[in-house]
Amino acid sequence: MSIEPGRIPAFLTNVNVGLLRAEDRVFEAMLDGWRAQMLARGLSTSYIKSSCGTVQKFQEHANEYPWTWSAHHVDEFLADRRSSEKGLALSTLRANSGAIRAFCSYLTDGRYGWASFCERIFADIPVQVVFEWNSPRHTTDDAVPARRRAFTRTELQTFFDAADDLVDTEFAKGSKRWLPALRDSTAFKVAYAYGLRRRELVMLEYVDFGPNPHVEQFGRFGALQVRWAKGTKGSGPRRRTVLTVPEFDWVVGLLEYWLSPDGRKRFPTADRSASLWPSERSGSTVYRNFDRSFQRVRKIAGLPEELTLHTLRHSYVTHLIEAGYDPLFIQQQVGHSYSSTTALYTSVSADFKQKTIQKMIAQRLRSGVTDEGNGHG
């Protein structure tokens, strides 16, 4: 019996074979399978080599594997490539996004079996991450996805209220789901308060918090060491320090409660690892649990589907800009290599823009009055 090009190789499907560096081995097998599929379709070897190279660069940039990729990884990859010193043309960026889209289409095609394999091995599945709204357009120079925006402050409060209400509802019913709901509600607020990517959030440990000697009132929660931040090409994860800012000082009390006997330690698995977010069956929860929980709370809150877990990071940047924080400080807080990438995250509110315009008008009016008083009128 012939094997269809692109199918999972036998050495991966053999449940009795343990994999050393499983994530790397599986990703390599995915690329090999995609390469075989493209050869079977009669595509040129130069096109195949270029497409596989793009996907490898994307994986290195995201510092995650295909079963944990999200649309925001595409945003950041394309934004950084366009902001680089070489300044890639839009046609090149369109080719890059097309290669990533084709690779994801291959992985999500049920005929090749990668989705079920990843769910069994990694408790996660690959999904399509390239769409019309986050791909470079042919008719405009605008690289900002039209649907990507931050939470408004009202939406954010509605979301957090819905997350807290869900905890109360599950607890009142006597359901065991109240504890994971409490964990997720806390995690969403921490993600917002520190502007974290999803991987950075999931990989946090309770030992990652420490004092900021310049802001003693925050105690042991004055700064956060993000040890699994996205690195540069080929460097792997890198560290960055995110300071707790007065704008989000409420997170200090939240973390104190979560690390008390009434919070994290209620999980029976809490002593198995230092993970900040234990699960009921293992030492740490996984990406997809947070995604599912976020979507559930968003639906309860009646908010639009364009708001995602990564939108909390957008909101962090936007709300600090509105609060008057220095853009360079914000760029360092979120770990962006280029200020233009930070700019893509900024979607300041209409109220803020209106106030800014009014201030400019008032300043010009005052300047005009001064000029008249000096005899220039």
**Each residue of 334-345: pLDDT tens digit?**
887 666 556 655
Tens of pLDDT, residue by residue over 66-104, are 999 998 899 889 988 888 656 677 888 889 999 999 999
Q: How far is CA 143 from the centre of its chain?
A: 18
Give the CA angle between residues 359, 360, 366 to the nearest 5°.
Answer: 90
User: DSSP secondary structure string, 239-282?
Assistant: EEEEE--GGGTHHHHHHHHHTSTTTGGGSTTGGG--BSS--SSS
The torsion angles phi and psi of 209, rounded to 5 degrees, stand at -90, 145
Query: Whats the size of the chain, residue-wise?
Result: 377
The pLDDT of residue 20 is 55
223's enclosing H/E stretch is strand 223-229
| pLDDT by position in tens, the chain (length 377) | 344 566 666 556 554 444 557 888 899 999 999 999 999 988 889 999 999 999 999 999 999 999 999 988 998 899 888 886 566 778 888 899 999 999 999 999 888 889 888 888 888 889 999 987 788 764 433 344 545 688 988 999 999 999 999 999 999 999 999 999 999 999 999 999 999 988 899 999 999 999 999 889 999 999 999 987 665 544 455 788 999 999 999 999 999 999 999 999 999 988 888 999 998 887 788 878 899 999 999 999 999 998 999 999 989 998 988 888 888 888 889 887 666 556 655 554 445 444 544 555 556 566 655 444 444 43
Residue 81 near residue 89 (C-beta atoms within 8 A) = no
Name 101's Cβ contacts closer than 8 Å, sequence gap at least 6: 128, 130, 135
pLDDT computed for residue 343 by the predictor: 63
Q: What is the pLDDT of residue 139?
A: 42
Residue whose token pair is 């003693």: 216
Query: What Rg value do the Cα atoms of the chain yield, rounded?
Result: 24
Would the pTM count as exceeding 0.85? no
Q: Output the pLDDT for position 222.
A: 94
- Closest CA relative to residue 204, chosen from 215, 217, 219, 193: 193
End-to-end CA distance of the chain: 93
Instruction: For residue 271, give Cα distances in angstroms to 180, 183, 263, 268.
Output: 16, 16, 13, 7
Domains with residue ranges and CATH for the chain: 10-134 (1.10.150.130), 153-352 (1.10.443.10)
Determine phi and psi for 97, rounding to 5 degrees: -65, -35
Q: With CA atoms as reference, report the closest residue to 71 among 311, 290, 249, 270.
A: 311
For residues 251-276, one letter each, b for 16 or more C-beta atoms within 10 angstroms of the residue's C-beta and e for the rest, the string is: bbebbeebbeeebbeebeebeeeebb
The whole-number pLDDT of residue 141 equals 34
| Angle between the N-to-C axes of helices 45-62 and 22-40, in degrees from 0 to 180, rounded to the nearest 10 | 150
pLDDT at residue 131 in the model: 86
Query: What is residue 372's predicted lDDT score, i.e. its pLDDT?
Result: 44
